[in-house]
Amino acid sequence: MLVHFSKEGFDKALDEGKLMMVDFWASWCGPCKMLSPVIDDLAGKYEGKAIVGKVNVDEEQELAIRYGVMSIPTVIFFKDGKEIDRKVGVMPGGAFEQVLDGNL
């Protein structure tokens, strides 16, 4: 299931320390829309193994600033509450799966 994070929800999930993949996006961004079905697909595929979510940088500017998001879409991976990897720009699902599989 895909999670739409608020700042509170994000911080709570981060504290739990599980493997997380978070897509930073905004509605004005075409490439973000393009990546959206890929993220949805991964949310289903990794159900129970990793938390897959999205952060709207328009609504949650604090999170975007905290993680220095300078270009969207940016997908950031977290484990044990820390950033372990990030991918900037549109890429095929396999690129994200590789990071997830390597950290399960």
Partner 1 sequence: MTYDIIILGSGPAGLAAAVAARGRDKSVLVIGNRWQDSPLARAERVDNYLGLPGLTGSGMLETFYQHAVGMGAEFVMGKAISLMAWEGFMVTVGSQVYQGRALILAPGVVRQAKYPGEEEYLGRGVSYCATCDGMLYRNRSVIVVGRSPDAPQEANYLHSLGCQVTYVSPQPPKGLDSAIPFVKAGKLSIKGEQTVTGLEADGALLPCDGVFILRQTVAPTDLLPTLETQEGYIKVDRSMATNVEGVFAAGDCTGLPLQVSKAVGEGHVAALSACEYLDRKQEQ
Specify the amino acid at residue 20: M
DSSP β-bridge partners for residue 85: 77
Q: Which is nearer to partner 1, 1 or 65 (CB)?
A: 65
Which residues, in sequence order, are CB contacts of 104 under 8 Å at separation 6+?
Answer: 19, 49, 50
Stretch 26-55 residues interacting with partner 1 (CB under 8 A): 26-35, 37-38
Q: Cα–Cα distances in Å, from 80 out to 31, 35, 59, 61?
A: 29, 26, 25, 23
Does the protein bind partner 1 through residue 71 (CB under 8 A)?
Answer: yes
Judge whether 67 counts as a catalytic residue: no
Which of 2, 3, 29, 99 is an active site residue?
A: 29
- Tokens representing 66 are 């905290």
Residue 24 has a CB neighbour count (10 Å cut-off) of 24
Q: Which is nearer to partner 1, 18 or 59 (CB)?
A: 59
Cβ of residue 41: shortest distance to partner 1, in angstroms?
A: 9
Question: Is residue 2 within the footprint of partner 1 (CB under 8 A)?
Answer: no
**Could you list the residues that contact partner 1 (CB under 8 A)?**
26-35, 37-38, 57-58, 64, 68-72, 74, 88-92
Give the active site residues.
29, 32
